[in-house]
A and B are shown apart, each in its own frame.
Chain A
Amino acid sequence: MILKPCSREKEVAELLRLGQWPAACPPELRAHLSACRSCGDLALVTEAFQRARFEAACAARITTPGALWWRAQLRRRNAAVERIGKPILGAQIFALAINLFLVVAFLAYQARHGLSWLSWLEQLPQAYSFHLNNLSQSALLHPGWSLMVLIPAAATLALLSGVVIYLVSEKQ
């Protein structure tokens, strides 16, 4: 398709833009429009679209701006919280990695020095009765075992309480 712009197209566009078409259109321009396809198309299409725009705008179902304003504020707040939460997430991942490293190191250490302390676990089902009192008694009799039980238990408790405190503070 060959693009052939008409020299009077701007004149027609200006009349349409100002809403002066066809009332303020000079007769010779009107005659030009009936002969020039480009200008005729411009006038026809612009008129149709402007009328459609007006009618569609009248039919628009507009909500209150306040609701949108607060929705945007909420979204901005959430985005800000997410931005702030990223370093916290990083710290959590780092802490988890450190914990995993310690566990692996501990297991490696134990593997190297034998797993003799696990023997009480093997004996546990054969015990005449399995009660906490018995555990504490055996821990008292074997001080090495008590440390093995107490340290991970304390670490787990500290970790869980930290998580609980974080979740509570986040909710607030």
Chain B
Amino acid sequence: MKEPQLMHRESVLPNVLAGDAPQAAESPMDSDAFAGFYERSARPLWAYLARVSGDPALADDLMQESFVRFLCASRPEEGEVAGRRYLFRIATNLLRDHWRRPRQSSIEEIPEEFFASISSSASAELLGPALACMRPRERQLLWLAHAEGYSHREIAEITGLAAASIRLLLFRARRKIASLLRQQSSPTRRQP
């Protein structure tokens, strides 16, 4: 059995949605506070970047850059949940900047097999090819909504899209990926 499977889910990912993340102190974030925040936020952020970009090496780079920018940013002191949302916003902007660069680094050119090679786990084998069929924006929306559990308003804040359009975009993306997942889980149902 692989090491990651031995780890308990709650020990790896803090349940942010349940509101059990500790609130940041009112004072500016010092080294120790950052270490704690990093410990709780790094893995979800890496997962987001890796699965949306399909490139673990890129996820490493963008995650580090996101944290550095987060520390350099002069933002009003807020709780950890808001800080994490801000971090995801930075990461989303970095991803967008990456996709806007010349075509050799475009996500559109990444072969479908690459997504499946991120992890050999069952869920990755199922979700990888389905995600590869989605547009980058759709991947972002789906991940933020269904993996991170952000509300439509929060997703709008992170992605910079209009809050009113999130619902429709998400509905379409969900329907599309659900069809793909059903097709993959039961290949015999596919049309010849």
Chain A residues with CB under 8 Å of chain B are 1, 3, 17-18, 40-42, 44-46, 48-63, 65-66, 68-69, 71-73, 75-76, 79
Contact = CB atoms under 8 A, between A and B. Distances in A.
Given A57-B12, A59-B119, A71-B68, A49 B34 contact: no
B126 A53 contact: no
B163 to A, nearest CB: 15
Indicate the member of B39, B71, B177 with the most A CB atoms within 10 Å.
B71
Contact of A41 (B17, B31, B42, B174): B174
9 contacts: A3-B168, A17-B149, A41-B174, A42-B174, A45-B177, A49-B142, A49-B143, A56-B46, A68-B71
A44 B118 contact: no
Contact of B123 (A55, A66, A76): A55
Contacts of A71: 64, 68
B64 A63 contact: yes
Contacts of A56: 46-47, 50-51, 118-119, 124
A65 B12 contact: no
Contacts of A58: 3-5, 7, 12, 43
B106 interface: no
A71 B46 CA distance: 19
Ordered nearest first, which 3 A-B pairs have the shortest CB separation?
Answer: A58-B4, A72-B71, A56-B47
How extensive is the interface on chain B, given as a class?
A: 35 or more
A90 to B, nearest CB: 24
Q: Give the dominant DSSP class at A's interface.
A: helix
Contacts of A51: 123, 127
A68 B175 CA distance: 39
A56 B123 CA distance: 10
A66 B64 CA distance: 12
A4 B171 CA distance: 9
A79 to B, nearest CB: 7
Which of A44, A55, A63: most chain B CB closer than 10 A? A55
Interface string B153-177: 0000000000000011001101101
A76 B29 CA distance: 14
Contact of B12 (A17, A41, A54, A72): A54
A126 B5 CA distance: 93
A5 to B, nearest CB: 8
Contacts of B177: 45
B23 interface: no
Contact of B39 (A55, A65, A69): A65
Given A45-B174, A68-B64, A62 B42 contact: yes
Interface in B30-60: 31, 34-35, 38-39, 42-44, 46-47, 50-51, 56, 60
Contacts of A75: 68, 72
Contacts of B168: 3
A48 B43 contact: no
Interface in B135-192: 142-143, 146-149, 167-168, 171-172, 174-175, 177-178, 181-182
Interface centre among A42, A49, A76 (most CB of B within 10 A): A49
Contacts of A54: 9, 12-13
Contacts of A42: 174
